[in-house]
Structure 1
Amino acid sequence: MSLRPTSSGDPAIETPPEFGGDALAWAAWLYYGEALTQNEVAGALGVSRASVANYLAEARRRGLVTISLDPGLLATVQQGRALMKRFGLAGACVTPPEAAGGDPEAQAVRLRRRIGRATAQMLSPWLVDERTIGVAWGRTMLEVAQALPSMTLSRTKIVQISGSSLGDEASSPEACTALFAGRLGARCQNFHAPAVVTTTAICDALLAEPGLKRHFERLRAADLTVFGVGELGPDTVWSDTDFLPASVVESYLAAGSDAILIGRFLDAAGREVDGPLSGRQIGMTLEELPAIPVRVCAAGGPAKIKALRAVLAGNYATHLVTDADTAARLLGEVS
């Protein structure tokens, strides 16, 4: 291939005949058609990378290249922006909807997996060393942890938010924290106390222990926290019946509870509801949560609508990850 100097300083490019002598078309084909990098295109054309960037921009202006977004992707981006505006969020990620039909339980598992992957992606800008990250628990948090990239953040601390429970071992508070830390190569900071104790005196005594005091001081200084939200209803099935027996659920429902967030109960306005467990819970409080700068809530599905509304009403989340159907209901697009 021979090149001739031009007045612009770049050589005039002798293009293959199938491109009719149009270097822009050739550059666009190499970049978009053959998926070469801009550096590789520059090498093939014998020009600078900056020139390639200009060629590609000009190719788009001339209509040689058109870029279209998938309508589903465009819709979810628009929903995310609408959620941010409606609820005063700093960020919102909406996963595309799944085709209707199929086994409901299998669909719920796939939904948690999609939300987990999206949450892991949203967290990526903050996954740098020397961070303190508070982690909640639950099946969605388990999916988030499993979707995290494998990293080595040896000076980052992953801190357990609330006390232990006797529910599903795989998604327990200590298990989720440990899996987060393992994926990120970070320091795992669990604490060994139950989520709920039998009396307020025991709760006060445990929280006065130096080890737990240091743990919660560290947690209150966290840079980021990630959590889900639990729905509260007569048909809710809890994995830990010692923590939430039917009588306790009924009591909180009667008192107007719509959600359970980091072990605390919320009404529709996002206010904490007093009940049988008040004063007996060990974990971060709802008053402490808003002091953390970045608070990512990950949840979706029809059962979570009232619970998510309560979380958003209380301004507990700065960022939300959910699915398209849930976003539409939160925005009032569908009933």
Structure 2
Amino acid sequence: MTPGPGRSSRSGDAKTVTRTRSQDEAIIEVTWCYYQDGMNQNEIAERLGISRATVVNYLSEARRRDYVRITLDSDIFRDQQLARALVDRFGLRDAIVVPSSPDGADQSLDRVTRVVSDWLPSLLEPGDRLGVAWGETVYRVAEAAPRVTIDGLTVVQLVGSRPAALGFAAETCSATLARRYGAHCVNLHVPLLLSDKQLVDRLKQEPVIREQLEAVADCNKTIFACGTCTAGSHVVHAGLLDRSEVDACAEKGAIGVICGRLIDHEGNPVMREIENRMIAVTLDQMKNKDMGLLVGSGPERAKPMLAAIRGGYATHVATCSQTAAEMLELA
């Protein structure tokens, strides 16, 4: 007798679940053997009767699922000679410097954001209000963050929404970090840039928006990057500046970008017409925090990061050895 459609479907579903469960258990077993029992990949393959290639794939899948998290003690990088030199030279409270990658700037940035993801929880305390900026650097930190619970932590989106590639948008950065930390998230539910100042003023008076902006102003700690004022800058890709405006802003002294706001070499604001049409944390609000964690890496980031430090926006810095050495040389 041929089974009916419902019976066939249930049977197929059961087989799929069984296969999935069996593979999940195999991934866990391989992970345990490798990381806890200290077995090598060939030994695991022989014990479980699978190929070495399968062992490699299962270990990769375990890391992708966050079954395994490999970390290095952040104190190693805090005690590094360049890190101590940054603290002493610029009056920082602390700094982390990781070795630059021989594979290039992107890999160096990856090293920096990964070590920051391990360091940041130790810089937070119950009841803190962490303001989170936007862009690729902050997004990478959020994506690499461990799943830990920090009691009473509130994560606050510092800039309004703006289309951004690859998830670098402000709401993605803040929501991802809040989820990782089991924190309450305050998103800023407005566009970053509007067409006229009157509309901005009206939106700011809306009770829910006013409450969110109060949370932005009330953050006692921040994590941010200082972008470049070049054609490849995040603010250009996000449409806050077009390519024709970049050179003009640079001629006025702009060297860096913090939360969409331009700064000069000393960290002072470089005003533009759009300033009054933006809804975001102000540069004044970014100063005098219990912690301002500045994250950045790359040959073009030394001058902007130095400007952010001079402007009083950063109390803590995380970077790579090449960028740290260049900052010290520039100073």
Report the 3-state secondary structure (helix = DSSP H, G, I; strand = E; otherwise coil) of the residue aligned with 1:150.
coil
Instruction: Give the partner amino acid of 1:231.
Output: T
For 1:82-101, list aligned pairs within 5 A: 82-99=85-102
In structure 2, relative to structure 1, the CA distance for the partners of 1:319 and 1:194 (3 Å cut) is same
Runs of 4+ in structure 1 deviating by more than 6 angstroms, as ranges, are 73-76
Bigger shift: residues 164-173 or 243-252: 243-252
Please, what TM-score do these two structures have when normalized by structure 2?
0.72
**Deviations, residues 82-136 of structure 1 (Å, cap 9, x unaligned):** 111111110110011222xx5xxxx333222211112123212234432211101
Q: 2:118 is matched with which residue: 113, 118, 121?
A: 121
In structure 2, relative to structure 1, the CA distance for the partners of 1:154 and 1:301 (3 Å cut) is same
Higher gyration radius (CA): 1
1:204 — aligned with what? 201
Q: 1:213 is matched with which residue: 199, 210, 214?
A: 210
- The percent identity for this pair of structures is 30
For 1:162-177, list aligned pairs within 5 A: 162-177=159-174
**Deviations, residues 38-79 of structure 1 (Å, cap 9, x unaligned):** xxxxxxxxxxxxxxxxxxxxxxxxxxxxxxxxxxx6897111
Report the 3-state secondary structure (helix = DSSP H, G, I; strand = E; otherwise coil) of the residue aligned with 1:158.
strand
2:297 — aligned with what? 300
Q: 1:77 is matched with which residue: 75, 80, 86?
A: 80
Aligned length: 256
In structure 2, relative to structure 1, the CA distance for the partners of 1:244 and 1:130 (3 Å cut) is same
Instruction: Give 1:154 shift.
Output: 5.7
**Deviations, residues 222-276 of structure 1 (Å, cap 9, x unaligned):** 2311001111124547563532222332331221100111110001111000123
User: Residues 288 and 313 of structure 2 are in contact (CA less than 8 Å); yes or no, is this contact kept in structure 1?
Assistant: no
Given the alignment of the two structures, is residue 179 of structure 1 paired with residue 176 of structure 2, yes or no? yes
User: Residues 221 and 292 of structure 1 are in contact (CA less than 8 Å); yes or no, is this contact kept in structure 2?
Assistant: no
In structure 2, relative to structure 1, the CA distance for the partners of 1:185 and 1:310 (3 Å cut) is same
Instruction: Name the CA distance, whole Å, in 2 between partners of 1:236 and 1:120.
Output: 23
User: Residues 92 and 315 of structure 2 are in contact (CA less than 8 Å); yes or no, is this contact kept in structure 1?
Assistant: yes
Instruction: Name the CA distance, whole Å, in 2 between partners of 1:213 and 1:322.
Output: 35
Report the 3-state secondary structure (helix = DSSP H, G, I; strand = E; otherwise coil) of the residue aligned with 2:271.
coil
Gaps of 5+ in 2: 1-75
1:279 — aligned with what? 276
User: Residues 150 and 182 of structure 2 are in contact (CA less than 8 Å); yes or no, is this contact kept in structure 1?
Assistant: yes
Instruction: Give 1:329 shift.
Output: 0.6
For 1:103-142, list aligned pairs within 5 A: 107-142=104-139
Report the 3-state secondary structure (helix = DSSP H, G, I; strand = E; otherwise coil) of the residue aligned with 1:278.
helix
Instruction: Name the CA distance, whole Å, in 1 between partners of 2:233 and 2:105.
Output: 15
1:312 — aligned with what? 309
Instruction: Give 1:292 shift.
Output: 2.3
For 1:227-242, list aligned pairs within 5 A: 227-234=224-231, 236=233, 240-242=237-239
Q: 1:265 is matched with which residue: 262, 267, 289?
A: 262
User: Residues 188 and 213 of structure 2 are in contact (CA less than 8 Å); yes or no, is this contact kept in structure 1?
Assistant: no
Instruction: Name the CA distance, whole Å, in 2 between partners of 1:247 and 1:276.
Output: 15
Instruction: Give 1:143 shift.
Output: 1.4
In structure 2, relative to structure 1, the CA distance for the partners of 1:115 and 1:134 (3 Å cut) is same
Gaps of 5+ in 1: 1-72
1:157 — aligned with what? 154
User: Residues 264 and 286 of structure 1 are in contact (CA less than 8 Å); yes or no, is this contact kept in structure 2?
Assistant: yes
Instruction: Name the CA distance, whole Å, in 1 between partners of 2:128 and 2:234.
Output: 35
For 1:49-68, list aligned pairs within 5 A: none
Instruction: Give 1:324 shift.
Output: 0.2
Instruction: Name the CA distance, whole Å, in 2 between partners of 1:203 and 1:316.
Output: 25
Instruction: Name the CA distance, whole Å, in 2 between partners of 1:323 and 1:298.
Output: 10
Report the 3-state secondary structure (helix = DSSP H, G, I; strand = E; otherwise coil) of the residue aligned with 2:277.
coil
Instruction: Give 1:199 shift.
Output: 1.9
Instruction: Give the partner amino acid of 2:92.
Output: L
Instruction: Name the CA distance, whole Å, in 2 between partners of 1:93 and 1:154.
Output: 25
User: Residues 83 and 96 of structure 2 are in contact (CA less than 8 Å); yes or no, is this contact kept in structure 1?
Assistant: yes
